Structures are given as structure tokens and as C-alpha cells.
Amino acid sequence: MIKKWYVVHTYAGYENKVKANLEKRIDSMGMEEKIFRILVPMEDEVEIKDGKKKISKRKVFPGYVLVEMFMTDDSWYVVRNTPGVTGFVGSGSKPIPLNDDEARQIIRQMGVDEPRTRIILSVGENVRVISGPFENFIGIIEDVSTEKQKVRVLISMFGRETPVELDFSQIEKTS
């Protein structure tokens, strides 16, 4: 038996409630050996309001939850009869699992298994500031904080090096 990712259809807006209900049912019914991970596919959405950047989570597939499980009659029953679940995605009454590439792509998009960093930066590299008050300045990376997605860049202003903290999204590498 191979564990696969299945897509479960839920009532709109009940995705997180279904996840919580299903986790309780798995625990109370002893299904930990057959039902593994439950994901509500989300992604970060950056909003800029009044000049302030706000990051919020957005559901990628509203009305759907992903469940990693062994498909057996009893695991199907537990998931299918969880409050808020309207059914599995598939043809007729037979659930169809996601293929491995689809599942990997969705999980990668959520950043569950991989860090969010999109550019690889090193101390000593030259970068150009592409937005903000220092736009078009060229500087040298002094420090990189992958967790915070920020860099400290030394920019030459008024004849002296000035350290400036910038988001990854505010810079680009120069050749």
C-alpha cells in the first residue's frame, strides 16, 4: 500500500475547520497509521496599504483540502464522514489521488518543504536597489538574513559607506 495525496471537497470557508475536525477524528479513531498529513493550500500574499507592506495568507484552492493517506474502506469512511466534507475529488465514488508531481508542486508552492528564498545572495556581491528611497544605488552586500528575507547593503553616499537594510524584493544582482 502506497500513501498518496487526495483532494477533499469542503463547504466554502470551512477548510481550516475540516482540517481541525479531521485531525481530531484521526486521533480519536486511531487512524494515525493510515491518514498522515492534512494541508489547506495557502500562499503568502503581499499587500501594500498606506505605504506599509502586510503579508497575509490566501487560500490557493478555496473549498479544497489535501489529505495524505492510504486509501482503505475505513480511512475513506473517516475522511468522508468528517463534518464539513462534501466528498473526495474523483470520478463517481472512487477518489483519484494527485500524481506525485502535482502534489510536490502544490507543497513547494506553499513553502512547506522548502525555504522561501528565490535568489541566492552572498556577502561581498554587488547589487542594485530597484525600489524604495535608495532606488538605482549600487551597493555591496554586508550581511544576508535568509529567515527575514533581508540584506544589509553598504551604499556609498556623501563620500562614505552607509549600511542600509533592504528586503530581498528591493534588490537585484548586478553583473
User: CB-hemisphere CA count at 13 Å for 80?
Assistant: 14
- What pLDDT does 116 receive? 44
Q: What is the pLDDT of residues 141-162, one digit of tens each?
A: 999 987 778 899 999 988 899 9
Distance CA(25)–CA(41), nearest Å, equals 20
Q: What is the pLDDT of residues 76-128, one digit of tens each?
A: 999 999 999 999 998 777 899 999 888 888 887 776 544 344 467 889 999 99
Distance CA(34)–CA(13), nearest Å, equals 26
Domains in the chain (CATH in brackets) are 4-110 (3.30.70.940), 126-173 (2.30.30.30)
